[in-house]
Structure 1
Amino acid sequence: MSQVSNQDVCTSRKAAELLGVTPRTVQLWADSGILQSWKTPGGHRRFSLSAIERLANEIRNGDAQPVSQAGARKAGPARMLVIEDDVSLQRLYAMTVRNWGLPIELKQSTDGYQGLLELGQFEPDLLVLDLNLPNIDGFSVIEALVRQGALTQMQLMVVTALPFEQVQPRIERVSSGIEVLSKPIPFLRIRESIEKILLEETVFS
């Protein structure tokens, strides 16, 4: 990358403070390409301070909510993020989830780039992910999550119209055990996952 001045250099910790996210989220965004970074000879990741400040302004202008620290999920509604580029399907998700009458906080993104930003800000309990996405596709989202160990903090369900035999081997090469489901949207299976998340909260709270 091009040279930056010493005054424009930012550490991962400083970037996390400016963005209002955890250092782990900063690493996730760097691995996925949202944040451009480089490493020092000692292996420490560095960022352009001006680029971090620009992204922080974008997040503030979008009224992004502060992020809780990573760890056990907080008591309250189950947090569900849907990354799906079909607007009509997003409306269907919103209507169906609302009609369940369960305590669910739903966030929705229509491309992989915005979805990764939401992941860092929202830290969902359940991520429902399409694969054919603009900007950053679903496969790249999965790779970034695996590199950062983020799948230990959430459940991932892939919902796709792509042929299962084409998708499953490619995902298995990245991480085993990821649930891949075919469209039409398997709402019953998604609801079962949400109910399990809510039940675990009741049992362990």
Structure 2
Amino acid sequence: MQKPDAHSDLAYNAADFCSTKDAARLLGVSHRTVQLWVENGALQAWKTAGGHRRITMASVRKLVDERREITGMPAAAAPEQKKLLLVDDDRTLLRLYELEIAGWNLPLEVVKAHDGFEALLRIGEQRPDILVSDLSMPGMDGFRMIRTLRADPACASMAIVVVSGLDRPTIDSMGLPADIPVFPKPVPFTELRAAVEEAIGASAAAR
């Protein structure tokens, strides 16, 4: 969408537009999700001279209405946003995760890490509600990271989902806790979404 013509500045109201931060708050999603929706055309926006996006309130309201019809929730009952940490050393796969999850219309803020050590740093900064992780990674692998988390009382109940190219006998022999769901690669996104939705529901019930 093009920026309104300078000669028509008096013809539009600034209230017709909002920042990406405001759009994220109104929609109950992360700032990155709003950026992705702008890029794929779900939200209409233009850039200021300083490079900041301004999103049309009409497209925000339209998306709110569409999401309300899908979920059956009233507009005032926006779900509490959950933090999901993705851990994989494959940057291309992390990007694929991010694009796929952005289309799920779930109340998720996505954070990424490239190995177990970086993941523990992110968890130390702010504990995520859900962890989706690979197992075979350089440095600290997923097995060691998960054992570290399960040994920490503050993180022992964190929802964990594993996506790995390793076969199940190998995974079992490495001592992964049996209660952690494991999905193969290539990632079965339909099953992964169901597991994430179940984790969101369990987190809400626990509160």
Q: TM-score, normalised by structure 2?
A: 0.56
- Size of the aligned set, in residue pairs, is 129
Output one character per residue of 1:89-122: Cα deviation in whole Å (capped at 9) or x when no partner. Answer: 0010000000112111100111221111011222
Residue 101 to residue 80, structure 1, CA distance change in 2 (3 Å): same
- Counterpart CA distance in 1 for 2:175 and 2:147 is 9
Output one character per residue of 1:47-105: Cα deviation in whole Å (capped at 9) or x when no partner. Answer: xxxxxxxxxxxxxxxxxxxxxxxxxxxx7212111110001100100000001121111
- Counterpart CA distance in 1 for 2:167 and 2:120 is 24
**Stretches of structure 1 lacking an aligned partner (at least 5 in a row):** 1-74
The one of 161, 166, 189 equivalent to 2:191 is 189
2:93 alignment partner AA: L
Output one character per residue of 1:120-140: Cα deviation in whole Å (capped at 9) or x when no partner. Answer: 222111111111112211111
Report percent identity of matched pairs.
32
For the pair 1:95 / 2:73, whether they are aligned, the reply is: no
Q: Is the partner of 1:189 in helix, strand or coil? A: helix
Residue 171 to residue 181, structure 1, CA distance change in 2 (3 Å): farther
- Counterpart CA distance in 2 for 1:158 and 1:204 is 22
TM-align CA RMSD:
2.1
- Counterpart CA distance in 1 for 2:205 and 2:136 is 37
- Counterpart CA distance in 2 for 1:149 and 1:98 is 31
- Counterpart CA distance in 1 for 2:99 and 2:196 is 16
**Stretches of structure 2 lacking an aligned partner (at least 5 in a row):** 1-78
Q: TM-score, normalised by structure 1?
A: 0.56
Alignment map for 1:1-205 (pairs within 5 Å)? 76-172=80-176, 175-200=177-202
Who wins on radius of gyration, i.e. which is larger? 2
1:196 alignment partner AA: E
Output one character per residue of 1:129-179: Cα deviation in whole Å (capped at 9) or x when no partner. Answer: 11111221111101111221355431111111112211123224xx33122
